[in-house]
Structure 1
Amino acid sequence: MPELGGTHPGVAAAPPPAPALPGPAVFSHSRLLRAFEAFLEPLVTVLSLWWLVWLFEGAISTRWLVVSVIAFALAYPGRPQLRASAPRVIADTVLAWAWTAGLLLATAYAVGHLEDFARPVILHWLWLAPTSQLAAHWILRKSAPHLIRLQGPPLRAVVVGMNEQGGSLADRLSMAHYTGVELLGFFDDRTPDRQHGRGRHRMLGRIQEIADYVKRNNVQLVYLSLPMASQPRIKQLLDALKDTTASVYFVPDMFVTDLIQGRTDSICGLPVISVCETPFKGPNLVVKRASDIVLSVAILLLLSPLMLGIAAAIRFTSPGPVIFRQRRYGLWGQEIMVYKFRSMTVTEDGPVVTQARKEDSRVTPLGRILRRTSMDELPQFINVLQGRMSIVGPRPHAVAHNEFYRPLIKSYMLRHKVKPGITGWAQVNGYRGETDSLEKMEARIRCDLDYLRNWSLRLDLYIVWRTIRLVFKDGAAY
């Protein structure tokens, strides 16, 4: 894809804001800990069975493997127990295991295969499985703070509305040990006598000041605790926050707005509704990253002879570097370095970046072919392996172009809630190439936001297929 740009030949950049720290929103505790808890009891149950079978029989037969699969399925997902008291953990574990073991024994007896299983294995498994589960819960509880720290610094959060609901949320965040969230304080317009919990939590300012504060202080999470009667003010606040990369959640019972990946969840036991969130969390994140790695490795291996030939041709046909590096905005608004085969006589990456136009004299003869076929983008598959980009996502714009457009287009910065892509929904819908008007860029951003709302692996594969077809017949690239 060609360089993206502004409505003028040269676009001067405003001073870039401080990049936001990466990381999605978290709720009752770290998503990494949630994953550990989901697999903890099922995995320990199976491992304890395998150890006993190996001890008494010397090998794990097919019938024991079938029992293992059934036991894992019955125990998955494990219950979250980090915030529960020790007596509660013991009671829940014993009762859950009694149900699982009872169901397994009853099924084996009903089908007439109970005698096929070694009695010593069964008897020892009845006490070893729950004991191992309790030991695993204890180990996870002791190691949880270290696992939280491995994920990086805590995510910064603010609460808007120092009412009873917001105060309760702040109290729970302050008392919770496994959130991975640092509460910075509140924003509210009410007088001190009407602010719930003012003495316990810090007041940061008035509501109209929140967007600037979020950008200056790298805030990743914004929790809105405002009454339904404030709906016009909430809409105005949401519009202001769309110039940031913060994830926004609504704490009261219900709210209707233009949601991006809207879903319900809870934080420390309180229900919240995500207003604007990334689609790549939990299993979706694993699927997206795995597909990026598999496809990029396959493409780089397949096209490596072609890439070496292109590099040699660039070296011998025009002076300058083979690889053009340019700063772009990536996930959470962080600056990243994006690679391309050099296709022009200039390598602009300063406060002014001039977009390539039709019949641009700066494009080399070889570069014209590379740009029309998008082969100049091939080095970006290395960016994908580095984790800076995805194969499919909003196309990254030069920093200068980003700073030019973000105050002009509503919700522009929301495209940075996902990694930028080599190709995207906008590019396969006709918004590839030069953006010589504000309307074209607005249409491109609408496509990017539609992609965030409707992402699926099937959509990614469809975009890749459409891109391959476009390479051979699209005239918008030059």
Structure 2
Amino acid sequence: MHTVIRQPTGREFADMESAVARLLDVMLIGLGTTLASWLWLPEPGRAIVEASFVAFDMALAILLLPWFGVYDSWRGRSKWHLSVRIVIGWLAVQVCGLAVMFLLHRTASLSRLWCVSWTALTAGGLVTSRLLVHAALGRMRRAGRNLRTVAVMGAGKHRDGVIANLTASPQAGFRAVAIFHTAGGGETTVHGLPGFWSFGEFADWVRREQVDEIWLALPMSEQDMLLRVLAEFSGDLVNLRFLPDVRGLVMFDRHVVDLLGSPAINLVASPMTPYSLLQKALFDRVFAAAVLVALAPLMLAIAVAVKVTSKGPVLFTQRRKGANGRVFRIFKFRSMRAHAQKAGVVRQATRRDPRVTRVGAFLRRTSLDELPQFLNVLRGEMSVVGPRPHAIEHDDQYRTIVDGYIHRYRIKPGITGWAQVNGFRGETDRIEKMQRRVEHDLYYLRNWSFALDMRIVVATVVKGLMNRNAY
């Protein structure tokens, strides 16, 4: 075993950066209270109490904010997640500070407007300062400074993809410097980087060049190589990172989560985080309420038209499956004449279907028959955007013959979706049509973002209301 005691390149800079960040945060807390006091001039008797509150929070920030990981290295990690952690950490500091003031019986002396203003201004300042610092670091790293050198171990497309990501993200602060080939081939240079075939030579080179990190881009079957690397570098201050090749196994993501204290890789699990679901749910309720209020006159006119032109109820309801397979009743404006239907059999609408009324044909063609589904969204049974729900009988038919069909149940079904804005609407008279629709649904699940939802909503309004496949 080789033992080399050294300080990796950039470690002193990281320690200094963390210390400066802590000092800056304390200063921003003080600046925030100054601005809040300027906006809401404190009464003479409150100034001393508020100053005590600020002093408590400064001390608490030094103690509590590190617990939220805001001073860890965020090199190559999401700055959005960093911003969220900063805000949550600051709110925790404020709650603890208020608890201290409550125990001292001083909360009644605090100005609520001042307190809220201070909290908001400081949160904005903390996030903005951190984003500006990382933007400056990104420019510095693109210029070739403050970089961590990386040697990549692996073979094939997965290794090449890791190196490509490194090369394409210079602002992250990593630079690939060498490759150790773990599979066959005779190349000595790949991507312009020196390559090694002998593990001993590779280990000696890493120590001689004082490489900061080794990334193991290996399949999960390469346990022997993983253990060999861990044993070889156990006495070195070099970071070892395992980037497992799970592309052939993972359905939605490859995030590592903490499960009862152990790291776990999601192979098949819900593709959306609790925060994403909350964000989506809040948008759904607000958007649905706004649509129902804004379009209430139109929906009333449609209801009257449906009622006076054909016999039967205004609304058509049908059992559908929602998130996690839970059954609910979907609402639509009735577009067909009342007709007998065999139990367990659902006949899809076809072109020039005699069951469709004249008003119903217009409603289906313009998708206005779907408007009552905003009630389902408001009730929490559906989402504005998501995979379109099918009749339960069709679910039972397709889930065994269409690859990935079952995963449509992982989130709430939607009024519109990625498949619909890409032309996959209407009758699915062939298995191939349903397979293509499901492929688009799975793409949406894998690539969900709030921006993608907004894109689909806009596309639905612009081009999705009138569709030649809707009949």
Q: TM-score, normalised by structure 1?
A: 0.52
Tell me: CA distance 1:372–1:68, structure 2 relative to 1, closer, same or farther (3 Å): closer
Find the aligned partners of 1:56 and 1:390 in 2 and give their Cα distance. 42
Question: 2:279 corresponds to which residue?
Answer: 287
Q: What is the letter of the counterpart of residue 288 of structure 2?
A: S
**Paired residue type of 1:426:** A
Letter in 1 for 2:332: K
Residue of structure 1 aligned with 2:330, choices 314, 338, 346: 338
CA shift, 1:283, in A, is 1.5
Aligned position for 2:307: 315
The match for 1:357 is 350
Which residue of structure 1 aligns with residue 454 of structure 2?
Answer: 461
Contact 2:316 2:333 in 1 (8 A): yes
User: Residue 336 of structure 1 aligns to a residue in which SS?
Assistant: strand
Give the secondary-structure state (helix, strand or coil) at the position aligned to 2:271. coil
**Take 1:334 and 1:57, find their aligned partners in 2: how far apart are those partners?**
48
Question: Are the aligned partners of 2:365 and 2:466 in contact in 1 as well (CA < 8 Å)?
Answer: no
- Equivalent positions of 1:225-264 (< 5 A) are 228=221, 255-257=246-248, 258-264=250-256
Does 1 or 2 have the higher relative contact order (CA < 8 Å, sep 6+)? 1
Q: Quick one: distance in 2 between partners of 1:41 and 1:287?
A: 21
2-structure distance, mates of 1:413, 1:351:
20
Alpha-carbon shift at residue 38 of structure 1 (Å)? 7.1
What is the identity, as a one-letter code, of the residue corresponding to 1:303?
Answer: L
Q: Which residue of the partner structure matches residue 403 of structure 2?
A: 410
Find out whether 1:275 has 2:267 as its counterpart: yes
Displacement of 1:65 after TM fit? 6.1
- 1:51–1:332 distance in 2 versus 1, CA, 3 Å: same
Task: Please tell me whether residue 396 in structure 1 is matched to residue 367 in structure 2.
Answer: no
> What's the secondary structure of 2:284's corresponding residue?
helix
1:48 — aligned with what? 99
Q: In 1, Cα distance between the equivalents of 2:307 and 2:267?
A: 49
Change over 3 Å in CA distance of 1:349–1:448 after alignment to 2: farther
2:422 alignment partner, one of 429, 441, 449? 429
Question: What displacement does 1:58 show?
Answer: 2.4
Deviation at 1:259, TM superposition (A): 3.0
Q: Is the 8 A contact 2:385 2:417 kept in 1?
A: yes
Q: CA deviation at 1:314?
A: 1.0
Secondary structure in 2 aligned to 1:327?
Answer: strand
Q: State the percentage of identical aligned residues.
A: 42
Superposed displacement of residue 328, structure 1: 0.9
438, 441, 457: which one aligns with 1:448: 441
Task: Please tell me whether the aligned partners of residues 435 and 441 of structure 1 are also in contact (alpha carbons under 8 angstroms).
Answer: yes
Q: Cα 1:349–1:325, aligned 2, differ >3 Å: closer, same or farther?
A: farther
Following superposition, the deviation at residue 49 of structure 1 comes to 5.5
The code of the aligned residue for 2:106 comes to: L
Instruction: Report if the CA contact (8 A) 2:421-2:464 is conserved.
Output: no
Q: Is the 8 A contact 2:419 2:441 kept in 1?
A: yes
Shift of 1:45: 1.7
The 1:64–1:265 alpha-carbon spacing in structure 2 relative to 1, beyond 3 Å, is: same
1:171-210 to structure 2, matched below 5 A, reads none
Q: Flag structure 2 segments of 5+ consecutive residues without an equivalent.
A: 1-84, 128-219, 224-242
**Counterparts of 1:355-394 in structure 2 under 5 Å?**
355-394=348-387
Distance 2:119 2:457 in 1: 39
**Superimposed CA distance per residue, residues 122-148 of structure 1 (whole angstroms, 9 cap, x where no aligned partner):** xxxxxxxxxxxxxxxxxxxxxxxxxxx
Residue 64 and residue 326 in structure 1: after superposition, are their counterparts in 2 closer, same or farther (change >3 A)? Answer: closer
Aligned length: 276
- 1:300 paired to 2:292: yes
Closer/same/farther in 2, CA of residues 463 and 441 from structure 1, 3 Å limit: same
- Give 3-state SS (helix, strand or coil) of 2:455's partner: helix
Q: Take 2:284 and 2:91, find their aligned partners in 1: how far apart are those partners?
A: 28
Q: Distance in 1 between matches of 2:91 and 2:116?
A: 18
Determine helix, strand or coil for the equivalent of 1:338: strand
Amino acid at match of 2:253: Q
For 1:328, give the aligned amino acid. R
Contact 1:328–1:335, Cα closer than 8 Å, also in 2? yes
Q: 1:59 aligns with which of 86, 110, 113?
A: 110
Shift of 1:461: 0.9
User: SS of the residue aligned with 1:275?
Assistant: coil
Q: What is the identity, as a one-letter code, of the residue corresponding to 2:361?
A: R
